[in-house]
Amino acid sequence: MFTLAHLSDPHLPPLPKPRFAELCNKRMLGFLNWERGRKKFHCPEALEAIVRDVKASDADHIAVTGDLINLSLPAEYPRASAFLASLGQAKDVTLVPGNHDVYIRGVEQSPAAFWGDYMRGDDGLERFPFLRRRGNAALIALSTALPTAPFLATGRLGKRQLDRVADILDQTRDAFRIVLIHHPPRSTLQRYLKRLTDAAALRGVLAEKGAELLLHGHDHRCSLMQLTGPHGKKILAVGAPSASASATHGGEDAAGYNLFRIDGEAGNWRCAMTARQRGADGTVRVTEERQLF
Ligand SMILES: [Fe+2]
């Protein structure tokens, strides 16, 4: 049995006070957005409750699917390093970055510089996609994070990652293959400006090579969608809410995370999912249990 905890989008609160010069770019819009609303919804108490609950769970490994921070301010990266360390050692925590982790041009190397240990494959290399085998699972980590123009929060994988993930999915057929990615593999029209631009190509790779599970964040919602694998087999894609959301608001869910208990072997997998969410009284409890396999 291998147990994986998946949390996403902690958007570490509170936001450190930015210097004016640091806001003379797309950050200004993000800062206004934070001040006008988001800072009410991403609260340290909610995140602390979720982290406490994750630590008290029987998880063997933790996956974090991006948006550790908010505006990619220089002061945010070391704080996120401390957050990762609070979750566990780098060998036990796998991170993929989100669009807020590379919010503007010029910070593309910052996630690797600060959090590289959490984004390194078993081969010791820092490159995406990377592969970590843990228990009977293969964790396949993709990066969709790249700076975008104001009002956009799109992500992109690119041909190099898509080609390599196809190879990795081939090589790990013996394992329970879990794809970790920030952006969802399909977005609604309302989230067109926040979509993964080459999602169709990713779905094509999954349809050809297969995977057992895909875990994502970005939408700040508890979600479950079905993708098509080889021979019409279903691949489930599970979205986690923001781990710091104080409450349900504007279509986003209250803080929570998911646990996946994986057992069996290729051709005969068992996987049970438990969703845990923080309620209005501040306690974290089971909100859904589902047998996925
Ligand atoms: Fe986010």
Question: What is the pLDDT, as a whole number, of residue 230?
Answer: 97
pLDDT at 250 over 90: no
**8-51, pLDDT tens digit by residue?**
999 999 999 999 999 989 999 999 999 998 999 999 999 999 99
Of 24-33, 77-86, 177-186, 282-291, the least confident: 24-33
- pLDDT over 90 (residue 219): yes
Q: Quote the ligand 1 centre to 230 CA distance (angstroms).
A: 31
Q: Return the amino acid letter for 212.
A: E
- What distance in angstroms lies between residue 231's CA and the mean position of ligand 1's atoms? 34
Between the CA of 219 and the centroid of ligand 1 the distance, in Å, is 7
| Neighbouring residues of 88: CB distance < 8 A, sequence distance ≥ 6 | 62
Across the range 235-249, mean pLDDT stands at 95
**284-291 and 61-64 strand pairing:** unpaired
pLDDT for 147 beyond 90? yes
Share of the chain above pLDDT 70, in %: 100
At 110, phi and psi to the nearest 5?
A: -65, -45
Give yes or no for residue 108 having a pLDDT over 90: yes
Mapping DSSP to helix (H, G, I), strand (E, B) and coil, where does residue 64 land?
A: strand
The Cα 122–Cα 47 span in angstroms is 29
CA-to-CA distance for 17 and 15, rounded, in angstroms? 6
Residues 6, 260: contact at Cβ < 8 Å? yes
Average per-residue pLDDT for the chain: 96
Q: How far is the CA of 9 from the centre of ligand 1 (A)?
A: 5
Predicted local distance difference test score (pLDDT) of residue 249: 85
Is 90 exceeded by the pLDDT of residue 58? no
pLDDT (0 to 100) of residue 7: 98
Residue 79: per-residue pLDDT: 98
Maximum pairwise Cα distance, the chain:
57
- The rounded Å distance from CA 179 to ligand 1 centre is 18
pTM: 0.97
pLDDT of residue 247: 87
Q: Helix/strand/coil (H, E, C) string of 2-53? A: EEEEEEECCCCCCCCCCCHHHHCCCHHHHHHHHHHHHHHHECHHHHHHHHHH
| Average pLDDT score over residue span 172-181 | 98
